[in-house]
A and B are shown apart, each in its own frame.
Chain A
Amino acid sequence: MIRTRNSWQIMADTIFALIMRELRSRYGNGRLGYFWALAVPAAQAAVMVLIFSSIGRKSLTGVPVALFMLVSLLPFKMFFKTLTQVSGAIDANAGLLSYRQVVALDPVIARVLLEFFHFILVAFILFSGLGWLGVDVLPDRFLELLLACILLALLANGCGLVVCSVALYWDSVNKVISVLMTPMMLFSGVFFAASMIPEQYWHLIAWNPVFHALELMRDAWFRSYATPAGSWEYLIMAVVLSNSLGLMLYWRNRERFILS
């Protein structure tokens, strides 16, 4: 017999079912998927280490280059991966929307959670590896760091919802996002901290909430680094705004999601 459930329990059951289904379709066919999830950021960080050590630098803002790179690379990748995953979430689960328990928002939430847990897992493994190599990887203020990560995931959720709705009217939006990803790496300060560039150029990147998230993470992680530019207020404002806009567009278009 079926339990009587309230709407929150139904939503939780549905999101659980969706997460299990996504896990299976993504990693069900062998474990190579996880291998690449670990290998790609590790290789990228290694390349940066090579570049910086070839110009004779071992540390950035008093932090070993590899650690510095991973601390900004992994969250940045999480943000963009979530964004692209979320923008395709509804389409990929369209057949399941015909059950009344499943609403179009559920696959979105499922993918945000999935990407977040994935990010935590990859980060844990890579930083453990770095620690094993003798780098001091323990974050200085862990809770602040976690908060910044959660805010970044929520930002991806909000932006992803906006992209979902835009994609209803304009298919190519996903291609535009992947084109934007490379310059965004620069504009998010993945390879440098705010203190490494002159103050008069900060305005070029300070508009970007992802940059603020990365700065706040560095601030929380490295004892030797205090961010001169990262702002909690700005990041939280961006999270609230993007999610409000995303939910508004979602509600306005909720009929169309079912059709597509």
Chain B
Amino acid sequence: MIGFENVSKYYPTRNGRSYVFREINAEIPTDKSIGILGPNGAGKSTLIRMIGGADMPSAGRIYSDVNISWPLGLQGGVQGNMSGRENARFVARIHGYRDTREIEERVADFAEIGKYFDEPMKNYSSGMRSRVTFGITMAFDFNFDVLLIDELTAVGDAAFKKKSEQVLKQKYASSTLIMVNHSVDQLRQFCDAGLVVYDKNIRYFDDISDAVNEYKRLYGV
């Protein structure tokens, strides 16, 4: 379960506070995989970042009794001037691992980017980037209850897509997903429940089809 208590998020702009979310009060279950639906700029990524602790609400609090991953996505989570290996090592260290070599090797195996693994990540293509980011989560035995995924599988070639989907299904059979994706098909494939971002608030649907229908109705797509 993830609970929202009076959660607001705003950004200071030239015209005063611009609210992304206003006073969300909700509890969403975490025993089902949830797809987040909403148009660009509605706050899907902000929501997933706040759930993952990468960003904080301007007011209110988010609480939870489960173990949640950091938001896996293309932005953030890696430092561009560090190599893929150094990023993997860093993540291992902040999670309390003393010996990081084994994990580095596992990430390298998963990413399959050869010598680029030791190059700064700012020189990576977006496909290589997602291979490493994805590899970093998959290499650990974190046993997250909930995995946050922000458009991660959107890039990469067909082989990598297939591979990552497989790993997702296998390795995280025990954990559920909360994911943002612009492809409704993919959301249907991975998720059972849906969350629609609308009017600076969120609405939870037990069935992803209901969520998709509501999303189409609200936004007229």
Contact = CB atoms under 8 A, between A and B. Distances in A.
Contacts of A100: 52-54, 70
A256 B97 CA distance: 30
Interface string A15-30: 0110011001100000
B186 interface: no
Interface stretch (A53-61, A89-97, A119-127): A89-97
A136 interface: no
A3 B96 contact: yes
Contacts of A258: 54-56
A95 B54 contact: no
B29 interface: no
A112 B11 CA distance: 31
B126 interface: no
B139 interface: no
A113 to B, nearest CB: 15
A255 interface: yes
A17 B70 contact: no
A17 B53 contact: no
A77 to B, nearest CB: 25
A259 B141 CA distance: 30
Interface residues of B, number: 28
B76 A95 contact: yes
A65 B211 CA distance: 78
B113 interface: no
A2 B97 CA distance: 7
B129 to A, nearest CB: 11
A9 B79 contact: no
B49 A21 contact: no
B107 to A, nearest CB: 15
Classify the secondary structure of B's interface with A: loop
A95 B94 contact: no
A96 B209 CA distance: 36
Query: Most chain-A CB neighbours within 10 Å: which of B52, B71, B90, B141?
Result: B90
Contacts of A21: 79, 82, 86, 90
Contacts of A102: 94
A200 to B, nearest CB: 49
Interface residues of A, number: 28
A2 B70 contact: no
A97 B71 CA distance: 11
B103 to A, nearest CB: 12
A5 interface: yes
Nearest to B71: A98
Interface in A7-55: 9-10, 13-14, 16-17, 20-21, 24-25
Contacts of A2: 95-97, 141-142
B108 interface: no
A195 interface: no
A254 B52 CA distance: 17
Given A3-B96, A25-B81, A96 B90 contact: yes
A201 interface: no
B93 A24 contact: no
A1 interface: yes
Nearest to A102: B94
A95 to B, nearest CB: 4
B39 interface: no
Contacts of B81: 25
A132 interface: no
A23 to B, nearest CB: 11
Interface of A: 1-3, 5, 9-10, 13-14, 16-17, 20-21, 24-25, 93-102, 254-255, 258-259
Given A13-B93, A16-B93, 16 more contacts: A3-B96, A5-B96, A10-B94, A10-B96, A13-B95, A13-B96, A17-B89, A24-B86, A94-B79, A95-B76, A95-B77, A97-B76, A98-B76, A98-B77, A258-B54, A259-B11
Interface of B: 11, 49, 52-56, 58, 70-71, 76-82, 86, 89-91, 93-97, 141-142
Closest 4 CB pairs of A and B: A100-B53, A17-B93, A98-B76, A98-B54
